[in-house]
């Protein structure tokens, strides 16, 4: 028969061990048992914690990515405990991102990855975010614009640039996650990016970059030459899909939807 938590020596009980500290000395199973609080049906909180971990392959990342509905299906985990677990993992993600958010200055794509990567890493759907910057590249606000597969009909320029106008932002940085963990851009990613780059140019609120966040890595479309640098005379223009052009002093990368970056002086080469 499984002993009750009261029958376990006090110096071996998860809550007492946590109180004595340090928290790093406890196993994941013990920390999870503290969150669960108690067991039930002849099981201790430690037993229940073990069962929950096994259900999610022993992976804290898989457990942390689960939503309340999914967690509630586990035996012994009702809605209240499910919400407790989701809240705890979300606090952990926010704590991981806090140093990057405290500074608030975006100097490059790595800053965006540090700011948004921890919270978006294990999302099961794509989330499209916009960071609105002032003239010193400090974040004045950030918004999740859409949730779901990225396409040009879902991400409307109005939804992206309305907050920029309201907050008098000088520029915008776009970012979204790939739940697969692979940050390489898709044709839809490029189409959305070019649409928003052109909209920003017309509004006088340039898109500085679009960063795609993967598992431990990211891709900057600016660094790949797929977003024109702010202040350049480069524009996005539709061209025949079989034509690749050299642009200005560098080379454009032709998108699969038949667009490329065009300098103000027109295409060079053939």
What distance in Å separates the CA atoms of residue 192 and residue 250, rounded to the nearest whole number?
Answer: 23
Task: Give SS3 for 213.
Answer: strand
183 CB-near residues (< 8 Å, 6+ apart): 212, 213, 214, 217, 218, 219
Confidence of residue 247 (pLDDT cuts 50, 70, 90): very low
State percent of the chain over pLDDT 90: 48
Confidence of residue 176 (pLDDT cuts 50, 70, 90): very high
CA 15-17-23 angle, to 5 degrees, is 95
Residue 132, class by beta-carbon neighbours within 10 Å (0-12 exposed, 13-18 middle, 19+ buried)? buried
Is it the case that residue 182 has pLDDT exceeding 80? yes
Structural domains of the chain sorted by starting position, each given as residue range(s) with its CATH number in brackets: 5-94 (1.10.150.20), 104-221 (3.40.140.10), 232-270 (no CATH)
Predicted pLDDT of residue 101: 63
Tens digit of pLDDT for each residue in 222-239? Answer: 999 999 988 776 665 543
Q: Are 34 and 46 in contact (CB under 8 A)?
A: no
What distance in Å separates the CA atoms of residue 215 and residue 180, rounded to the nearest whole number?
Answer: 8
pTM of the model: 0.64
Predicted pLDDT of residue 226: 93
Closest to 36 (Cα-Cα) out of 27, 46, 28: 46
Predicted pLDDT of residue 124: 85
Tens digit of pLDDT for each residue in 140-153? Answer: 999 999 998 776 65
What distance in Å separates the CA atoms of residue 166 and residue 168, rounded to the nearest whole number?
Answer: 6
Task: Give SS3 for 172.
Answer: strand
CA distances from 14 to 41, 114, 126, 258 (A): 19, 32, 37, 59
- Listed in order, strand segments (DSSP E) in 22-114 are none
Tens digit of pLDDT for each residue in 58-96? Answer: 989 889 888 899 998 888 888 999 999 999 998 888 887
Return the top range by mean pLDDT from 38-47, 56-65, 195-204.
195-204
Tens digit of pLDDT for each residue in 15-30? Answer: 888 888 888 889 999 9
Give mean pLDDT, residues 36-54: 85
Dihedral of CA atoms 181, 186, 191, 197 in degrees, nearest 10, equals 50
Predicted pLDDT of residue 24: 87
Helix, strand, coil proportions of the chain in percent (round to 5)? 40, 20, 40
């Amino acid at each position: 028969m499984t002993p009750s938590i009261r029958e376990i020596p006090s110096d071996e009980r998860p809550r007492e061990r946590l109180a004595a500290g340090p928290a790093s000395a406890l196993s994941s199973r013990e920390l999870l048992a503290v969150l669960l609080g108690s067991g039930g049906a002849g099981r201790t909180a430690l037993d229940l914690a073990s069962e929950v971990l096994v259900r999610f392959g022993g992976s804290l990342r898989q457990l942390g990515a689960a939503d309340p509905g999914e967690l509630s299906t586990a035996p012994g985990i009702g809605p209240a405990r499910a919400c407790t677990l989701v809240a705890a993992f979300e606090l952990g993600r926010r704590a991981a991102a806090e140093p990057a958010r405290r500074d608030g200055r975006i100097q490059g794509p790595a800053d965006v990855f540090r700011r948004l990567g921890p919270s978006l890493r294990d999302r099961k759907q794509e989330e499209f975010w916009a960071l609105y910057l002032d003239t010193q590249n400090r974040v004045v606000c950030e918004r999740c614009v859409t949730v779901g597969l990225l396409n040009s009909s879902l991400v409307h320029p109005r939804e992206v640039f309305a907050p920029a106008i309201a907050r008098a932002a000088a520029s915008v940085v776009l970012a979204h996650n790939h739940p697969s963990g692979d940050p390489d851009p898709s044709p839809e990613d490029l189409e959305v990016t070019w649409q928003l780059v052109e909209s920003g140019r017309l509004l006088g609120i340039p898109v500085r970059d679009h960063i795609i966040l993967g598992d431990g890595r990211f891709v900057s479309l600016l660094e790949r030459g797929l977003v024109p640098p702010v202040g350049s005379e480069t524009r996005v223009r539709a061209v025949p899909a079989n034509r690749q052009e050299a642009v200005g002093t560098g080379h454009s990368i032709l998108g699969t939807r038949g667009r490329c970056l065009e300098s103000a002086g027109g295409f060079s080469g053939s």
